[in-house]
Structure 1
Amino acid sequence: MSAFVYGLGIGFSLILAIGAQNAFVLKQGLKQQYVFWVCFICALSDSILIYFGVTGFSKVIANFPFLLTVSKYFGAAFLFFYGLRNFYSAIKNSSSLNPSDIEKDSLLKIIGICLAFTWLNPHVYLDAIILIGSISVQFSDQLYQFAAGTILASWIFFFSVGYGAKMLLPLFKRATSWKILDVLIGITMWTIATMLII
């Protein structure tokens, strides 16, 4: 199996798990707000982390473990706040909601949230830098092919989720569906936050 194909498989296997970042991309896709920028920022951030991982940045993290500790607590606080926001949204919304009826956040705010979901999440460092970095060692003669495959998986995944979400729009014509989504996302955020600090 070529390093590129192996990297593609590793990339998909790591990113397919439902996490805070993926849930946010799905919700923005359903709201049809800044979908391109959300997908682009998430994929680009992952690409940067993967590149650092395969080029040896994992050694820096290994030498300075406090960076992961700091990220863990900041990430947990962010996820708790964002989960609370989703629970509040589930309680507040009561009418039938179309994506075009939803109040639009500013692009800068969405960019900030995207960056926080990636860079304040210790699991991203463990997956993209430590795990992928260690796997890449066996492809020392095809390092960049392996990295390219892993990075491509990230771009395919985020844009598929972001733009594929519109297929679920008929279901989300009802306010109840949005409430359920908000509650599920809130539970996801709080679960991940709890796992980070225990």
Structure 2
Amino acid sequence: MGSSVIAVAVLTGLSTGLGLIVAIGAQNAFVLRQGIRREHIVPVVVICALSDIALIAAGVGGLGTLVTSAPLVLQVARWAGAAALTVYAVMAMRRALRPSALVAAGGGDDTGRRRAVLTALAITWLNPHVYLDTVLLLGSVASSHGDQRWWFAIGAMIGSIVWFCTIGFGARLLRGVFARPGAWRVLDLVIAAIMLAMAAMLVLGA
């Protein structure tokens, strides 16, 4: 009986976690782009997965109550996130307007790696929706599982790891499609549109 209850909690956490992160957003779009280009994908995937794990643990551990009691924190994060998303949207549009830069390889460039790492951190930690979804929502759902809430958390953490590894390392399968600069232009324009839309949602308090 105990093992079946644990299994249900883990599977519920897995499905709930995937349901929250699978929808294409700024973070997923960025990971997808890095994966297609095969640029610094390991640190980007690790940062996104570990960040989700930390946020899930915080939510299940009760941080959600603290966040709701400090609305100023979410307000600061909202405006900082909107600013960061706007900057990255402009960068994506600039790439789309410069075809010669679209197919350039990042290789082992330290500057490129640092930029990728900082972008992954900013898109993850400066997005208030991350706290609302991962900390508050997952935390509240986990609490409904009582003593099994940490098994629920483990399931959600597994979901995050599986998802980011899938879109990060699996994106190389689309490399053939993106052998043409035109395809990169479309992708970067889509990424820019997603980031601008999310920035607008944050500013409007959506």
Q: Is the 1:25–1:162 contact (alpha carbons within 8 Å) kept by the matching residues of 2?
A: yes
Percentage of matched positions with identical amino acids = 39
Q: Which residue of 2 aligns with 1:122?
A: 128
Deviation at 1:95, TM superposition (A): 7.8
Q: Which residue of 1 aligns with 2:175?
A: 169
Q: One-letter code of the match for 1:9?
A: S
Q: Is the 1:31–1:102 contact (alpha carbons within 8 Å) kept by the matching residues of 2?
A: no
Aligned-partner Cα distance in 1 for 2:22–2:16: 10
Deviation at 1:150, TM superposition (A): 0.3
**Aligned equivalent of 2:36, options 30, 40, 50:** 30
**Aligned equivalent of 1:91, options 77, 97, 100:** 97
| Partner deviation per Cα, 1:158-179 (whole Å, 9 max, x = no partner) | 0100011111000111000000
Q: Is the 2:102–2:184 contact (alpha carbons within 8 Å) kept by the matching residues of 1?
A: no
* Local SS of the residue matching 2:97: helix
Deviation at 1:140, TM superposition (A): 1.5
Aligned-partner Cα distance in 1 for 2:51–2:99: 32
Deviation at 1:113, TM superposition (A): 1.0
Deviation at 1:193, TM superposition (A): 0.3
Q: Is the 1:54–1:143 contact (alpha carbons within 8 Å) kept by the matching residues of 2?
A: yes
Q: Is the 1:29–1:163 contact (alpha carbons within 8 Å) kept by the matching residues of 2?
A: yes
Aligned-partner Cα distance in 1 for 2:159–2:40: 21
Q: One-letter code of the match for 1:79?
A: L
Cα RMSD of the aligned pairs, angstroms, is 1.7
| Partner deviation per Cα, 1:109-132 (whole Å, 9 max, x = no partner) | 221111101100000000110100
**Aligned equivalent of 1:151, options 157, 165, 172:** 157
Q: One-letter code of the match for 1:149?
A: G
* Local SS of the residue matching 1:196: helix
Whether 2:25 is the aligned partner of 1:19: answer yes
Aligned-partner Cα distance in 2 for 1:7–1:96: 38
Q: Which residue of 2 aligns with 1:79?
A: 85
Question: Structure 1: 5+ residue runs without aligned partners?
Answer: none
| Partner deviation per Cα, 1:140-189 (whole Å, 9 max, x = no partner) | 11011000000100000001000111110001110000000010000000
Q: Is the 1:25–1:161 contact (alpha carbons within 8 Å) kept by the matching residues of 2?
A: yes
Q: Is the 1:12–1:153 contact (alpha carbons within 8 Å) kept by the matching residues of 2?
A: yes
Count of aligned pairs between the two proteins: 197
TM-score by length of 1: 0.95
